[in-house]
A and B are shown apart, each in its own frame.
Chain A
Amino acid sequence: MRQEGRRRVAGNTLAFLKNHAPFNKMKAEALQAFADKAQLVFHSAGSEIVGPEAGNVRFFYLIESGKVQARQAGEVTVTEYSILSLGVGESFPIGAVTAGRPSTNTYTAVDDVFCYQLPAEDFMQLMTSSPEFNLFCTQYIASLLDQSRCQLQLQFAQRANEQQTLNSPLVGIGSRSPVAVAPETPVRAALETMSAAKVGSLVIAGEDRKPVGVFTRSDLLDRVVLADLPHDAPISQAMSPAPFKLEEHATAYDAMLAMATHGIRHVLVTDAEGKLTGVVSERDLFALQRVGLRQIRQSIEGAHNVEALQQSAADVRQLSFNMLAQGVGAEQLTQFISALNDALTRRVIQLNLENHNFDGIEWAWLAFGSEGRDEQTFSTDQDNGIVYAVPDGLTVGELKTRFLAFALDVNKDLDRCGFPLCKGNIMASNPQWCLSLDEWKEQFSQWIRVPQPEALLNATIFFDFRPLFGKVELAEAMRRHLLAQTSSNPMFLRAMAHNALDVEPPLGKIRDFLTDLEPDHPGKIDLKKYGSRIFVDVARIYALATGVHNTNSVQRLRLASKRLSIRDDEVNAVLEGMDFIQFLRLQHQYLEGEPGTQGDNLINPDDLNELDRRILKESFRQARKLQTRLKLDYQVN
C-alpha cells in the first residue's frame, strides 16, 4: 500500500501544480514525475532557504505558500542590492540549479513558507522530458540572464583553469630567469649577487646549467655565519646539494606536494635535458591561490611602493575575472572593481603625499566619468581632477602649481598601475581640471548657462564626480551648487535630453540589429555608444532633474524613478537591460581582450548565442523605452 500512499501524496501535489503556470501547461507524465519526486518542506519566517554558502544548489524550489525574498549576495560591499520578492507558485533558483552551481542570491522566508523541493537531478530530468517546463525555465527573464551567465561560466571556467589553478604547468609559474652562480663562486661574491638581485635564494649550477645545489638565506645563518665559513670559500661548501627538481611540464600541484613531502621551500624547474629554466618558490604557489578580496585590500593598504600596487592591480583584474566566472552580476562587479580601484588610487595618492605636503589646505581628489559613477569595466582610463579651497595668505596660482606637480606624479603612478593616461587629458595634472572650489562652481555654472555642444559633452563627464580622497565636503559643496543650478535651468536639462537622444539603440526594422552604424567596424555594434551610454545619459538627466545626489546610474534610476513615481517593475526591467549590456561588455573585454590590454566595446551580434541575442534585443528595447519617456518628459522631437 506504499504505492497507494505515494500516489495520494503526489496527488496532493498535483492538485497544487495544476493551478500554477507553467505546470498547468505541462503534460500529465511530466507533471506526475514532478509530483512523485517533490518533497514538501517547511521554512519558518526569517530562516534562510538557500544561499551562496550552501554550495551547489541541490533543489529546485517551488513556493507552495508564503513569501520568499531573494537578495543579491556576494563578497561585494555595495550599498544597494536588488531585492526580489517571490510568492506562491514562483520558483527559484532556476539558473543556479540548471548550472549546478551555488546560488548567487540568498533566499529567505519572509513569513512561514512551505516549499516543494525537487532534487536537482529530477529537475534536470524534467528539463529534458518536458518542453513546456524547459521553455518556462529559459524564458523567464531573470533565468535568461542567469543562464547566459552559466554559459559564460563554462568559458570562463576553462580559462580560469588554464590560468591559475594548481593544474598549471610549472613553465608558467615563478621566476623564469633564476639567479644562478657556479659552484666555485666564493661565498662573498655569491652573497653580493643575491643582494644585488634582491633575491632570497640562489641556484648553484655548473657550466652546463644543470643545477647542483641551492643556497638560501637560512643557509647563510647555519652554514656560513655559525659555521665560521671563510668568505672566500666556494659556495658549494655552503649550499644544500642535490636540489629537488621537476620538469617544466610538471604541475604546480606536483611542486606543492614536493614541498610538503620534502619540507623544502624551492623547487627548481628544468627542461627535458635537466637544464635549469626556473625556480618555483612556496610564495609563488601561494600566489596562485592568493587572489581574494581581503588579501587584495590588505596588500593594497600595506603597499609601500608603486611596484607592490602594480601586483595588486593585476590581482584586482584576476579577482574580477573570477567573480565574473562565478556569475556575479554586472552591477555588483563594476561597483566592486571600482571599490578596489578606489582603494588602489587612494594608496597611490597617499604614497605621493609623502613627497608633497598639503597640510592645512582643504582639498579633494575627484573621480569623473565611469569611475565617478562606480561603473568601471576592465579597461577604463583615468578621469580625475582636484578641488581645493584657497586658505588666507595663499593665492590660487601658487596652490595650483603645487597641486599640478603632485597630480602629475599621481597620474603617472596610476598609469603604471594599469590605469592609462586619459587621451582627452581629463586628468588632475591638466590645469583645466585642477581648480579651486569657486572655479569649479563657476565652470559648472558656465556650462549650464550656455549649453553649447562642448559644454554638454563636458557635463556628461564632469557631472558624474565623486570624491576619492581628501575633504569630502568640498565635493558635496560642488554637488549642491550643481543641483541648484540645473534645477533652476530647465533649458539646460532639455538640451541634455536632446543630446542624449542623438544616438538610438541599434534596433532594426527588418533585421534584429543595425550593425552598420560604425563605418570603421562593419558588422559590429558598439555596446557602449549604442547601449550602456543611453542608460547612463538618461539616468544623469533624471538625477539632475530630481535632485538625486548619487552618481551611479543604477542608483540614479532607482531613486529618480521613486521620486517620479515610476513603477518598480518598469524600472527593474530597464535596470536588467542595462545590467545585461554591461555584462556583455565585461564578458567581451575579458574574453576577447588580451590580458593587460585595453578591450573595446565592439561586438558582433552574430557571434552571440540565440539566448544572448534575444536578451540583447530586449535590453535595447528597454533603452528605447527609456528614451521615449525622456522625449515625452522634455518635449524633444
Chain B
Amino acid sequence: MFGIRKFLFKDGSPAHLPDDVKAAIEAWRASSGPQLDDAHFHVRYVVIDIISSGLKPDSDELLGIAAAGVREAGMIVPDDAFYLDFSAIEGEGEAQQQAVDRQLMAFLQFLAKAPLVTYHVPYVGGFLQRIYKERLGIDFQPNWVDLAWLLPSMFEEKSHTLQPLDHWLDLFGLASGSGRRDAMENTLMLARIFQMLLVRVSAKGIDTPGRLVDESRASSFLRRTH
C-alpha cells in the first residue's frame, strides 16, 4: 500500500510552499541520519505521541504532536523536547498555513532522522505520514520502534500479549494516579518505558538501534501474522 502511494506522490516539494520551507526540505533530504549500527549510547532516539480527533489516520485530523529525545542510552533532557499544538498556531489564511508548514518542518529538523519510538506505529505513523505527504510532499518513512509489539516480546514476564498502554503502565508501576494525561505526559511515560526497554534489549544482545528497529519489525510481523 505504501509502495503505491509513493508511486502516486513522487518526491518533490509542492509548489505552494514558501521558499524557506522548500529549501529546508531539500536540506533535510540531503542530510544523513545517525549510524544505526552504532551503540545505543551514541544514538539519539525520539519518543513521540500525538493527539488526533479520532483513530483513523486516513480521515481523522491530527491535532498535536509531543516528542522528547532520549540520548546516551536513556537520558531525557528538558531542552530536547518538542510540542506542537496545531490549534495554537496563530494567524489567518495563507499566513497560518505557512506557519503550520514551518512548524512541521521544524519538527522534522528536531527529529533529525533519529529512530522514532511510539506506541502503536500504524496509528502515530499513519497520521504523520499523511500530513507530511499532503502538506510538504514528503514520504515520511522513519525507522520505527513500536513499543506496542515490542513490549510483549521483551517483557514476557509481565505480559506476553498485546495490551493497552495503561495496562503496561500499571505493570511497570508507572501509573501516575487518576486523570487524563496530555500528549507530553504520555510521551514522557513512553520515554520511561523506553528507558527500561533499552536496558532490557541491551542485556539481550540487541545493542544497536539498527537491531532494535529490526526486532521491532520482526515482533510486530510475527505477532500479527501468527
Whether, in the assembled complex, B110 has its beta carbon less than 8 Å from a beta carbon of chain A, the answer is: yes
Residue of A7, A11, A40 with most partner-chain B CB within 10 A: A40
B184 to chain A, nearest CB (A): 4
Whether, in the assembled complex, B133 has its beta carbon less than 8 Å from a beta carbon of chain A, the answer is: no
Q: CA separation between A12 and B200, bound complex, in Å?
A: 25
Q: CA separation between A10 and B79, bound complex, in Å?
A: 9
For A47, list chain B residues within 8 Å (CB): 199
A401 to chain B, nearest CB (A): 68
The answer to whether A42 touches B83 (Cβ under 8 A) is no
The answer to whether A8 touches B110 (Cβ under 8 A) is no
Residue of A nearest to B65 (CB): A1
- Write out, one digit per residue, whether chain A residues 1-42 have a CB within 8 A of any chain B CB (1) or not (0): 110111111111100000000000000000000011111111
Residue of B nearest to A12 (CB): B188
The answer to whether B195 touches A42 (Cβ under 8 A) is yes
Residue of A nearest to B77 (CB): A39
The answer to whether B184 touches A9 (Cβ under 8 A) is yes
Given contacts A1-B106, A2-B110, contact A35 B196 (CB under 8 A): no
**Which one of B75, B78, B110, B200 lies within 8 Å of A41 (CB-CB)?**
B75
Q: CA separation between A43 and B142, bound complex, in Å?
A: 28
Whether, in the assembled complex, A44 has its beta carbon less than 8 Å from a beta carbon of chain B, the answer is: yes
> Restricting to B194-211, which residues have a CB under 8 Å from any CB of A?
195-196, 198-200
Residue of A nearest to B67 (CB): A5
Whether, in the assembled complex, B84 has its beta carbon less than 8 Å from a beta carbon of chain A, the answer is: yes
Whether, in the assembled complex, B68 has its beta carbon less than 8 Å from a beta carbon of chain A, the answer is: yes
For B182, list chain A residues within 8 Å (CB): 8
Q: CA separation between A1 and B78, bound complex, in Å?
A: 13
For A13, list chain B residues within 8 Å (CB): 78
- Write out, one digit per residue, whether chain B residues 66-87 have a CB within 8 A of any chain A CB (1) or not (0): 1110000011111101111100
For A90, list chain B residues within 8 Å (CB): none
A225 to chain B, nearest CB (A): 60
For A10, list chain B residues within 8 Å (CB): 78
B173 to chain A, nearest CB (A): 7
Whether, in the assembled complex, A322 has its beta carbon less than 8 Å from a beta carbon of chain B, the answer is: no
Residue of B nearest to A112 (CB): B196
> Restricting to B77-108, which residues have a CB under 8 Å from any CB of A?
77-79, 81-85, 103, 106-107
Given contacts A12-B184, A42-B192, contact A1 B82 (CB under 8 A): yes
Residue of A nearest to B184 (CB): A8
Whether, in the assembled complex, A65 has its beta carbon less than 8 Å from a beta carbon of chain B, the answer is: yes
Q: CA separation between A41 and B78, bound complex, in Å?
A: 12
**Which one of A36, A42, A65, A114 lies within 8 Å of B78 (CB-CB)?**
A36
A432 to chain B, nearest CB (A): 65
Q: CA separation between A376 and B193, bound complex, in Å?
A: 51
Residue of B nearest to A45 (CB): B199
Residue of A nearest to B174 (CB): A65
Whether, in the assembled complex, B26 has its beta carbon less than 8 Å from a beta carbon of chain A, the answer is: no
**Which one of B78, B85, B110, B174 lies within 8 Å of A9 (CB-CB)?**
B78
> Restricting to A235-268, which residues have a CB under 8 Å from any CB of B?
none
Whether, in the assembled complex, B185 has its beta carbon less than 8 Å from a beta carbon of chain A, the answer is: yes
Q: CA separation between A36 and B77, bound complex, in Å?
A: 8
Residue of A nearest to B193 (CB): A42
For B200, list chain A residues within 8 Å (CB): 44
The answer to whether B74 touches A5 (Cβ under 8 A) is no
The answer to whether A5 touches B81 (Cβ under 8 A) is yes
For B74, list chain A residues within 8 Å (CB): 41-42
The answer to whether B185 touches A12 (Cβ under 8 A) is yes
Q: CA separation between A40 and B200, bound complex, in Å?
A: 18
For A44, list chain B residues within 8 Å (CB): 196, 199-200
For B103, list chain A residues within 8 Å (CB): 1
The answer to whether A41 touches B195 (Cβ under 8 A) is yes
For B82, list chain A residues within 8 Å (CB): 1-2, 4-5
The answer to whether B107 touches A9 (Cβ under 8 A) is no
> Restricting to A37-67, which residues have a CB under 8 Å from any CB of B?
37-42, 44, 47, 65
The answer to whether A8 touches B196 (Cβ under 8 A) is no
**Which one of A8, A40, A41, A65 lies within 8 Å of B83 (CB-CB)?**
A8
> Restricting to B96-130, which residues have a CB under 8 Å from any CB of A?
103, 106-107, 110
The answer to whether B199 touches A42 (Cβ under 8 A) is yes
Q: CA separation between A1 and B110, bound complex, in Å?
A: 10
For A37, list chain B residues within 8 Å (CB): 78
For B199, list chain A residues within 8 Å (CB): 42, 44, 47
For B81, list chain A residues within 8 Å (CB): 2, 5-6, 8-9
Can you list 8 pairs linking A and B with CB atoms under 8 Å apart? A1-B106, A2-B82, A5-B68, A9-B68, A9-B76, A39-B78, A40-B76, A65-B173
Known: A1-B106, A7-B83, A12-B185. 15 other contacts (CB 8 A): A1-B84, A2-B106, A4-B84, A5-B68, A6-B81, A8-B185, A9-B78, A10-B78, A11-B184, A38-B78, A39-B75, A41-B76, A42-B74, A112-B173, A114-B195
Instruction: Write the residues of chain A forming the contact surface with B, with a CB cutoff of 8 angstroms.
Output: 1-2, 4-13, 35-42, 44, 47, 65, 112, 114
